[in-house]
Chains A and B, each alone.
Chain A
Amino acid sequence: MRHCDSELHVTGLSEYTDDVAPPEEMLHGVIFGSPIAHGKIQKLYTSGAEKMEGVRGVYTFEDIPGTKIIGAVIQDEPLFAHVEVMYEGHPLAMIVAESVELGRKALKACKADIEPLPVTVCPRKAFEEGDVLQETRVFEKGDVESVWEHCDHVIEGKVDLAGQDHLYLETNRCRALPIEDGQIKVFSSTQSPSAVQKWIAAVLGVPMHKVEVDVKRLGGGFGGKEDQATHWACMAAIAAMDLQRPVQIVLNRVEDMKMTGKRHPYKQDFKVGLTQDGKILAFDVAHYQNSGAFVDLSLPVLERTVLHATNAYAIPHVKILAAACRTHLPPNTAYRGFGGPQGMFALESAIYKASIVMGVAPEWIQSRNLISNGYRFHYGQEVSACRMQRTWDEASEAFDFEGVKKRVDSFNASNRGKKKGYAVMPVCFGISFTKTFLNQGSSLVHVYTDGSVSVTTGGIEMGQGVSSNMIAIVSRMFGISEKHVRCNSTNTSRIANISPSAASATSDLNGNATINACKEILVGLKEVAAKELGGKPEEITIEDDIVHLKGFATDLTWEKLVLNTYFSRVQLMAHGFYTPSGLHYDYTKKENHPFHYHTYGTCIIEVTVDCLRGNYTIDLARLVHDLGRGIIRSVDLGQVEGGLAQGIGWVTLEELAYSDDGLLLSHSLSTYKAPDGDFLPNDIEVRFLENADNPGGPLGSKAVGEPPFMYGIAAYFAIQRAIDAFRLNVPDEIVSPMTPERVLLSLYDKDSVKPKQPSSV
Chain B
Amino acid sequence: MKPKCAIRFILNNQEVTAWESPGRLVLDYLRDSARLTGTKEGCKEGDCGACTVLLGSLKDGTVSYAPMTSCLIPMGELTGKHLVTIEGLNQDTLSPVQAAMVDCGGTQCGYCTPGFVVAMTGWLMDPKRPISSVGVRESISGNLCRCTGYRSIKEAGDQVVEKLAAQLNGDDRIQLLCVLGALPDYFETIPERLAKIESIAEPDSSSFKERPVVIGGGTDLYVQRGEEIPYQQVHLLNNIETVAPVVEENGHTIVDSRMSFQAFGDDPLIIKAIPDIQVYNELIASWPIRTRATIGGNICNASPIADMTCLLLAMNTELHLEGGDELRSIPLKDFFLGYKQLAKTEDEIIEKISFFTPGEKSLINWEKVSKRSVLDIATVNSAARFEAENGFIEQAYLVLGGVAPIPLYLKEASSFISKQALTNELAMEAIDIAQTEFEPISDVRGSADYKRLLARQLLLAHFIKCFPEIISEEVIYASL
Write the residues of chain A forming the contact surface with B, with a CB cutoff of 8 angstroms.
2-3, 5-16, 18-19, 21, 101, 104, 166-171, 217-220, 222, 252-253, 416-417, 462-465, 611-615, 634-635, 637-638, 641-642, 644-646, 653, 655, 657, 665-666, 668-671, 673-680, 682, 684, 739-741, 744-745, 748, 750, 752-760
Q: How far is the CA of A10 from the CA of B454 in the complex (A)?
A: 42
Nearest chain B residue, comparing its CB with the CB of A615: B369
Residues of B close to A671: CB separation below 8 A? 377, 444-445
B 37-72 to A, binary, CB cutoff 8 A, 1 in contact else 0: 111111111011010000000000000000000000
Nearest chain A residue, comparing its CB with the CB of B445: A671
Verify if B149 is at the interface (C-beta below 8 Å from A). yes
A641 contacts B152, CB within 8 Å?
Answer: yes
From B110, B461, B474, give the contact of A5 (CB < 8 A).
B110
Verify if B458 is at the interface (C-beta below 8 Å from A). yes
Report the minimal beta-carbon distance from B393 to chain A, rounded to whole angstroms.
15
B453 contacts A3, CB within 8 Å?
Answer: no
B144 contacts A21, CB within 8 Å?
Answer: no
From B109, B149, B230, B429, give the contact of A219 (CB < 8 A).
B109
Give the residue among A12, A13, A750 with the most B Cβ atoms within 10 A. A12
B47 contacts A669, CB within 8 Å?
Answer: yes
| Extra contacts besides A463-B109, A740-B371 (13): CB < 8 Å | A9-B101, A10-B102, A11-B114, A12-B86, A219-B111, A465-B108, A613-B369, A669-B48, A676-B143, A676-B375, A678-B141, A755-B436, A758-B433
Q: How far is the CA of A669 from the CA of B47 in the complex (A)?
A: 6
B457 contacts A757, CB within 8 Å?
Answer: no
Q: Which residues in window 105-147 of B have CB below 8 A to A?
A: 105, 107-114, 117, 137, 140-141, 143-147
A8 contacts B110, CB within 8 Å?
Answer: yes
B47 contacts A14, CB within 8 Å?
Answer: no
Write the residues of chain B forming the contact surface with A, with a CB cutoff of 8 angstroms.
35, 37-45, 47-48, 50, 85-87, 90, 94, 97-99, 101-105, 107-114, 117, 137, 140-141, 143-154, 223, 227, 230, 367, 369-377, 379, 412, 416, 429, 432-433, 435-436, 443-447, 449-450, 452-458, 460-461, 464, 473-474, 477, 480
B452 contacts A753, CB within 8 Å?
Answer: yes
Report the minimal beta-carbon distance from B438 to chain A, rounded to whole angstroms.
9
Q: How far is the CA of A739 from the CA of B150 in the complex (A)?
A: 21
Residues of B close to A18: CB separation below 8 A? 37
Q: How far is the CA of A671 from the CA of B305 in the complex (A)?
A: 14
Give the residue among A2, A638, A748 with the most B Cβ atoms within 10 A. A638
Give the residue among A219, A611, A745 with the most B Cβ atoms within 10 A. A219
B112 contacts A3, CB within 8 Å?
Answer: no
From A614, A644, A678, A754, give the contact of B149 (CB < 8 A).
A644
B114 contacts A646, CB within 8 Å?
Answer: no
Q: How far is the CA of A448 from the CA of B382 in the complex (A)?
A: 67
A612 contacts B464, CB within 8 Å?
Answer: yes
Residues of B close to A653: CB separation below 8 A? 371-372
- On whether A463 and B147 interact (CB within 8 A), knowing A11-B98, A668-B43, the answer reads yes
B108 contacts A464, CB within 8 Å?
Answer: yes
From B43, B151, B445, give the contact of A682 (CB < 8 A).
B151
From B85, B108, B377, give the contact of A3 (CB < 8 A).
B108
B44 contacts A6, CB within 8 Å?
Answer: no
Nearest chain A residue, comparing its CB with the CB of B282: A678
Residues of A close to B140: CB separation below 8 A? 677
B148 contacts A641, CB within 8 Å?
Answer: yes
Q: List 26 A-B contacts (CB under 8 A).
A: A2-B105, A5-B107, A5-B110, A9-B113, A10-B101, A10-B107, A12-B86, A13-B87, A19-B37, A169-B50, A220-B111, A252-B44, A613-B367, A637-B105, A638-B152, A653-B371, A669-B43, A673-B376, A675-B149, A676-B372, A676-B374, A684-B151, A745-B449, A753-B456, A756-B429, A758-B412
Residues of B close to A463: CB separation below 8 A? 108-111, 147
Give the residue among B86, B87, B153, B372 with the most A Cβ atoms within 10 A. B372
Give the residue among B43, B149, B456 with the most A Cβ atoms within 10 A. B149
A673 contacts B109, CB within 8 Å?
Answer: no
From B40, B50, B457, give the contact of A744 (CB < 8 A).
B457
- On whether A169 and B444 interact (CB within 8 A), knowing A676-B141, A678-B141, the answer reads no
Nearest chain B residue, comparing its CB with the CB of A107: B227
Q: How far is the CA of A21 from the CA of B33 in the complex (A)?
A: 11
Q: How far is the CA of A634 from the CA of B156 in the complex (A)?
A: 13
From B109, B144, B453, give the contact of A217 (CB < 8 A).
B109
Nearest chain B residue, comparing its CB with the CB of A673: B371
From A11, A16, A465, A645, give the contact of B90 (CB < 8 A).
A11
Residues of B close to A9: CB separation below 8 A? 101, 107, 110, 113-114
Residues of B close to A464: CB separation below 8 A? 108
- On whether A634 and B432 interact (CB within 8 A), knowing A219-B110, A614-B369, the answer reads no
Nearest chain B residue, comparing its CB with the CB of A678: B374
B446 contacts A741, CB within 8 Å?
Answer: yes
Give the residue among A222, A677, A740 with the most B Cβ atoms within 10 A. A677
Q: How far is the CA of A756 from the CA of B47 in the complex (A)?
A: 39
Residues of A close to B41: CB separation below 8 A? 252
Residues of A close to B150: CB separation below 8 A? 645, 675-677, 680
5 closest cross-chain pairs (CB), A and B: A12-B38, A463-B109, A219-B111, A9-B110, A645-B149
Residues of B close to A646: CB separation below 8 A? 146
Nearest chain B residue, comparing its CB with the CB of A679: B372
Report the minimal beta-carbon distance from B87 to chain A, rounded to whole angstroms.
6
Residues of B close to A675: CB separation below 8 A? 149-150, 372
Residues of B close to A756: CB separation below 8 A? 429, 432-433, 435-436
Q: How far is the CA of A646 from the CA of B107 in the complex (A)?
A: 16
Give the residue among B44, B146, B152, B223 with the most A Cβ atoms within 10 A. B146
Give the residue among A635, A665, A745, A755 with the most B Cβ atoms within 10 A. A755
A6 contacts B107, CB within 8 Å?
Answer: yes
A677 contacts B108, CB within 8 Å?
Answer: no
B374 contacts A680, CB within 8 Å?
Answer: no
Q: How far is the CA of A13 from the CA of B110 in the complex (A)?
A: 10
Residues of B close to A644: CB separation below 8 A? 149
Q: How far is the CA of A668 from the CA of B223 in the complex (A)?
A: 11
- On whether A10 and B113 interact (CB within 8 A), knowing A653-B371, A758-B416, the answer reads yes
Q: How far is the CA of A494 from the CA of B394 in the complex (A)?
A: 80
- On whether A462 and B109 interact (CB within 8 A), knowing A641-B148, A655-B371, the answer reads yes
Report the minimal beta-carbon distance from B179 to chain A, rounded to whole angstroms.
21
Report the minimal beta-carbon distance from B100 to chain A, rounded to whole angstroms.
9
Report the minimal beta-carbon distance from A188 to chain B, rounded to whole angstroms.
15
Q: How far is the CA of A90 from the CA of B460 in the complex (A)?
A: 46
From B94, B98, B110, give the contact of A14 (CB < 8 A).
B110
- On whether A674 and B144 interact (CB within 8 A), knowing A612-B460, A756-B436, the answer reads yes
Q: How far is the CA of A97 from the CA of B325 in the complex (A)?
A: 47
Residues of A close to B87: CB separation below 8 A? 11-13
Report the minimal beta-carbon distance from A683 to chain B, rounded to whole angstroms.
9
From A465, A666, A740, A757, give the contact of B369 (CB < 8 A).
A740
From B97, B371, B473, give the contact of A417 (CB < 8 A).
B473
Q: How far is the CA of A101 from the CA of B443 in the complex (A)?
A: 31
- On whether A169 and B42 interact (CB within 8 A), knowing A613-B367, A614-B457, the answer reads yes
Residues of B close to A462: CB separation below 8 A? 109
Residues of B close to A613: CB separation below 8 A? 367, 369, 454, 457-458, 461
Report the minimal beta-carbon distance from A740 to chain B, rounded to whole angstroms.
6
Q: How far is the CA of A11 from the CA of B104 in the complex (A)?
A: 15
B107 contacts A759, CB within 8 Å?
Answer: no
Q: How far is the CA of A370 from the CA of B447 in the complex (A)?
A: 40
B147 contacts A638, CB within 8 Å?
Answer: yes
- On whether A638 and B436 interact (CB within 8 A), knowing A646-B146, A677-B137, A756-B429, the answer reads no
Residues of A close to B452: CB separation below 8 A? 750, 753
Residues of A close to B449: CB separation below 8 A? 745, 750
Report the minimal beta-carbon distance from A203 to chain B, rounded to whole angstroms.
28
Q: How far is the CA of A682 from the CA of B432 in the complex (A)?
A: 39
Report the minimal beta-carbon distance from A680 to chain B, rounded to whole angstroms.
5
Report the minimal beta-carbon distance from B370 to chain A, rounded to whole angstroms.
8
From A6, A171, A614, A755, give the contact of B101 (CB < 8 A).
A6
